[in-house]
Amino acid sequence: MLKKFAVLAVMASFIVACGPSQEDLDAIQRVADSVAAAMKADSIAAAEAAAAAEAEAAAAAAAADTTVAPAQ
């Protein structure tokens, strides 16, 4: 029983000692934050481009509707 406890204690200390440091965790968080910001910027740019294309199509449709109909 004591051997099992000793092995378990050694394994637990190894896991704690070999885990990521706070510096590593901060670096991972910085990368995740910058990726999220880039994805948000891309999403905003795509939405603005779609809105501009829709406005352009609406303007073209409005211009086509205002043409003078031939006299009867």
Which pLDDT does position 71 carry in this prediction?
60
Alpha-helix residue ranges (DSSP H) falling in 1-72: 2-17, 22-65
Could you report the per-residue pLDDT of 8-30, keeping only the tens digit for each?
888 888 877 777 888 988 999 99
In this prediction, residues 43-51 reach a mean pLDDT of 93
pLDDT at position 14 is 81
- Asked if the model's pLDDT at residue 59 lies above 90, the reply is no
**Would you say residue 56 lies in a domain?**
no
Counting the structural domains of the chain, the total is: 1
How is residue 12 written in tokens? 């637990």
Produce one character per residue of 22-44: b if its CB has 16 or more CB atoms within 10 Å, e if not.
eeeeeeeeeeeeeeeeeeeeeee
30 part of a folded domain: yes
Q: Is residue 5 included in any domain, yes or no? A: no
Q: Is residue 46 part of a domain?
A: yes
- Model pTM above 0.85: no
Q: Which domain holds residue 33?
A: 19-50
Q: Does residue 68 belong to any structural domain of this protein?
A: no
